[in-house]
Amino acid sequence: MMEQSKIKRMPQRPLTPPRADKPKLSRLHKIRLRLLLGVLALILVVGGWQLYHVHTQIQQSQAQVTQAKSQLKSVEAKKQALKVQVDQLHNDDYLAKLVRQKYMVSKSGEVIFELPGTAGKLNLNGN
């Protein structure tokens, strides 16, 4: 006869899928979840508002920079014109011409004629 072994076979249980009816979240967990979602929503709203506010400030700053650059160009052009005029004021011929035009001073033997439409206007650009 056959000898029986001391090893016993365990009965096999049928494989069952995981329980579909997991325990639902407790009331405390629901409250915590809602609180966390609320805090997250608040952070997103405040962050979005800050982002919008910073964006508008950047646009205003860029507009101010553009305006300042245009003012700088006009001031530099005026500075260049004044520099040319200062250089011309160091020229004796230009000074004599300027005095003659502005104060109607003439050289000896020179006759000054005023043309209609040009009275009181100075032509200082050297023409």
Per-10-residue mean pLDDT of the chain, 127 residues long, equals 72 70 76 96 98 97 97 97 91 85 80 71 53
Between CA 120 and CA 101 the distance in angstroms is: 9
- The pLDDT score that the predictor gives to residue 114 is 73
pLDDT value at residue 127? 43
What are the tokens at 108?
């000896």
Q: pTM (2 decimals)?
A: 0.48
37 token code pair: 């979602």
Q: What is the pLDDT of residue 55?
A: 97
In angstroms, the CA 116 to CA 56 distance is 56
Scanning the structure block, which residue is given the tokens 């109607």?
104
